[in-house]
Structure 1
Amino acid sequence: MPDTTPSCFDRPYSAFLFDMDGTILSSLLAAERVWGAWAARQGLDVEAFLPTMHGARGVDTIAKLNLPGVDPVAEAAAITEAEINDVEGVFALPGAAAFLAALPSDRWAIVTSSPLRLAHKRLEAAGLPIPKFIVTAEDVEVGKPNPQCYILGAERLGFSPSECLVFEDVQAGILAGESAGSDVLVITATQHHDLETSHPTLHSYEDVRVRIYEDGKVGLGK
C-alpha cells in the first residue's frame, strides 16, 4: 500500500519546536574546541569521542563515560563556562534568521540541551532572537533522547506535542521528538555524513518559507 502519512509540508501545525545547535545555528567549531580539550585532558580518544557529545546535555554525556574520580555535574559546569567564553565561529544557518522572524512569537520555541546562559550567548553570537519560550538543560530532569524536553516545550506554548513540528539534527533529538509524539523535520546543514532517517529532511531554510494559516497555525511552504 502507498504511504499515506501526511508530509510536514502538507499540514498546519499549532507550533514549531526548534533544537538550537546544528538546527538553527552552528556552534560545531566552538563546541568541539572546548570538548576536545576536555577529552584530551581525560585521556580519551578525542576523534572517537567528539561525535558522541552532540545533542545531549553535558552532564549526561560525561556521566555515561563512568570516568573514575570525575564528578559529571562539576565537569559539565566547567565546560559550560568554557563554552560561554568561546563563541568564535558561531553563526546562524542560512535563512534561519528570516525564517524565525516570519513566525509569530507565540508559535515557536527553542528546546535545547544547552544551559540557559550558553543558549543566550550562542543565539546572541549568531544574531538570532531570544525566543519568548525556551526549554534548556536546567528545565528537565532527564535530557534527550528522553521526550521530556519537547513535551515541556509544547506545554509552555499551550499545545500538545502531537500538534507541533520538531526541527532536529541529531539522533538523540530525533528520538526525543518521536517519543513526544511530534512530527520531525531533520536539518542537514551541519552534517558531515548522511544521517539515516525516515523523516523528511531540509538542508537550508533558504529552501522553505513560513506559511501562516487563517486560524493562526503555522506550516511550511516552498
Structure 2
Amino acid sequence: MTLALPATFDALLFDMDGTLIDSTPCVERIWRRWAADIGIEADELIANMHGVRGQDTIQRFAPHVDQEREFKRLLDWELTDLEGTLPVTGILERIAELDGARYGIVTSAMRQLATLKLEYCGLTAPAATVCSEDVARGKPYPDPFLLGAERLGVDPTRCLAFEDAPSGVRAAKTAGMTVIALTTSHRPDQLAEADLLIGDWRELRFATDGRGGVTVSRA
C-alpha cells in the first residue's frame, strides 16, 4: 500500500455495489437462483462475478444460453428484489462532505438498476455516472473509469477511485488512477493492487477545496 493521506485529487470516482451500497446478499441470492435454474455450478460464478457486468458473466459461465433473454431475466429479478440492500457504513456522511466537488459513479450495473438501488439506499446518482450500457468493454478494462474522468473533465491520473472488487481495482489502476479499496466483499490479499485498503467509510474524511477538488484524509 503506497497512498499517504491527506492527499488532494481533482475528482473522485466511486464504484457502486460493495462500495457505496452493500447489495452482496441480494445479488448473490439472485445469481444462485439463476445458476440453479439453468443447471450450472454457482460457487465459481459467485467468486468471479463481483464488479463485472452481468452480460459478461453470463457469456463466461453460460455461453450456451440465449444471452439477451437470460440477461433480461436476471435484470428483471434484480429490479424487483432489493431486500437486504443497504448503504455501506459511513457513506451518507462522506457524500454530504462532497458539496461542490467533482465526483461520479462507475458501475457495472445497468442505469435503470443503478438508479433504483441508489435511491433505495438514500443516494442520488450524480450527472457523471457511467453504467454498463455506456461502454463496449466493462471492468476489468479501464474504459468505464476513463469515461468517468472524461465526463468530469479531468486527467485520469488526477482521479481517486474507490472500489471493492479485484476487477474494478484493476480497471482503475489500468486507467492510471489511484485506488482505495474497501474490504466489504473481498479479502485484503485479493485487493493487493490498490494503493490503500479501508474497512468502511468511517475511516476517511473529505474536504472540498472550492474549485472542485477534494482532499482525502484519515478520520
TM-score bracket, shorter-length normalisation: over 0.9
CA contact (8 A) 2:45 2:61 kept: no
Aligned-partner SS, 1:195 = helix
Shift of 1:50: 1.2
User: How far apart, CA to CA, are the structure 1 residues paired with 2:139 and 2:15?
Assistant: 11
CA contact (8 A) 2:26 2:85 kept: yes
Could you report, residue by residue, the CA deviation over 1:66-89 in whole angstroms, capped at 9, with x for unpaired residues? 532x12232112111110100011
CA contact (8 A) 2:165 2:185 kept: no
Give the letter aligned to residue 143 of structure 1.
G
Q: What is the 5 A alignment of 1:161-176? A: 161-176=156-171
User: How many equivalent pairs are there?
Assistant: 217
Which ranges in structure 2 are unaligned for 5 or more consecutive residues? none
Instruction: Name the structure 1 match of 2:120.
Output: 125
Detail structure 1 runs of 4+ shifted over 3 Å in the superposition: 190-194
Change in Cα spacing, 1:144 to 1:105, as seen in structure 2 (3 Å) is farther
Which ranges in structure 1 are unaligned for 5 or more consecutive residues? none
Q: What is the 5 A alignment of 1:49-60? A: 49-60=45-56
Shift of 1:105: 5.1
Instruction: Name the structure 1 match of 2:24.
Output: 28
CA contact (8 A) 2:162 2:179 kept: yes
Identity within the alignment, %: 36
Give the letter aligned to residue 156 of structure 1.
R
Shift of 1:22: 0.3
User: How far apart, CA to CA, are the structure 2 residues paired with 1:66 and 1:85?
Assistant: 23
User: How far apart, CA to CA, are the structure 2 residues paired with 1:150 and 1:139?
Assistant: 11
CA RMSD of aligned residues (A): 1.8
Shift of 1:115: 0.1
TM-score, length-scaled by structure 2? 0.92
Shift of 1:98: 1.2
Which stretch of structure 1 is more off in the superposition, 29-38 or 109-118?
A: 29-38
Is 1:187 paired with 2:167? no
Is 1:95 paired with 2:90? yes
User: How far apart, CA to CA, are the structure 1 residues paired with 2:74 and 2:191?
Assistant: 30
User: How far apart, CA to CA, are the structure 2 residues paired with 1:105 and 1:152?
Assistant: 21
Which stretch of structure 1 is more off in the superposition, 96-105 or 84-93?
A: 96-105
TM-score, length-scaled by structure 1? 0.91
CA contact (8 A) 1:55 1:172 kept: yes
Aligned-partner SS, 1:12 = strand
Instruction: Name the structure 1 match of 2:208.
Output: 212
Shift of 1:215: 4.3
Could you report, residue by residue, the CA deviation over 1:130-167 in whole angstroms, capped at 9, with x for unpaired residues? 21220000100011001100000011111111110010
Shift of 1:48: 2.6
Give the letter aligned to residue 220 of structure 1.
V
